[in-house]
Structure 1
Amino acid sequence: MARTSKKTPGKSPLTQLGANVAIPASPDKAELERVPNPHADTNYVARFTVPEFTSICPVTGQPDFAHLVIDYVPGKWLVESKSLKLYLQSFRNHGAFHEDCTVAIGKRLAKLLAPRWLRIGGYWYPRGGIPIDVFWQTGKLPAGVWIPDQGVASYRGRG
């Protein structure tokens, strides 16, 4: 659920930034917040790198670990980073497959922000000897925007 209340003079519409907030019990209960983009007339890339993402295998209950990279070209909105951090932490006890986690995060951000373009790369560490990488994107990349490599090497094992 997006939170963007009307701005009251002297009061921020954000409810989590600067407050002591517990980690949400699940991604569905997490509250993502957004703020106006002060450069909405400019195409640029914002990147969030999450090298210690965790969730739970829905079958075995064992922990799964990933390195996530989220890139987006904002439109009118930016995601507030503390709310994003709490949302991502809410996956710690959430049972879902790698593909579900990665795509669900991308879709939720796209719905909240309506970015010009967004991509997420989920680089999952091996379970049962097989690493899984999951990629999702939406929107059309504006012409002339520089998109750096996500910087996460493919898993090589002992190679």
Structure 2
Amino acid sequence: MSSTLSPAPLLIPLQPEWLDRVVAVEAAAYTHPWTPGNFRDALASGYQAQMLVQGDRLLGYYVAMQVLDEVHLLNIAVAPDAQGQGCARLLLETLDHWSRLQSAKWLWLEVRASNTRARAIYERHGYRQVGERKRYYPVHHGERETAIIMSMPLYGPEP
């Protein structure tokens, strides 16, 4: 009897040839997903974008932008069939490490007020709510939802 081991997950730069898979995960994860053009623009702008892959399977990704001594997490998603397996934690840890290498002092993000699962993940990771943007995210039929602004300091060495 032989068993086939799955390859270990790898973090690699987000690459244009993976955009179809990225967009598919994005559409499965969000009610108002980024478009292929949003991802192409992020790559063209030189934003930090990493994918977590296992063989030819996309587990998740993030896109972040550095502004002076701050890094803003613009987008992060984990494929629905890979959720609950630590992928988000690994992506966030990778972002932390990269941000420290860039001498960033703070990480920032915005999350829908209704996305309690993501908010809990961010809080466990060390982010704290520092504000709100009322009526920021589109919901449907002209309605809008509050964005929760979260931040995490990156002072000192990695934990």
- Greater share of helix residues, 1 or 2? 2
Q: Give the TM-score, by structure 1 length.
A: 0.31
Q: Give the TM-score, by structure 2 length.
A: 0.31
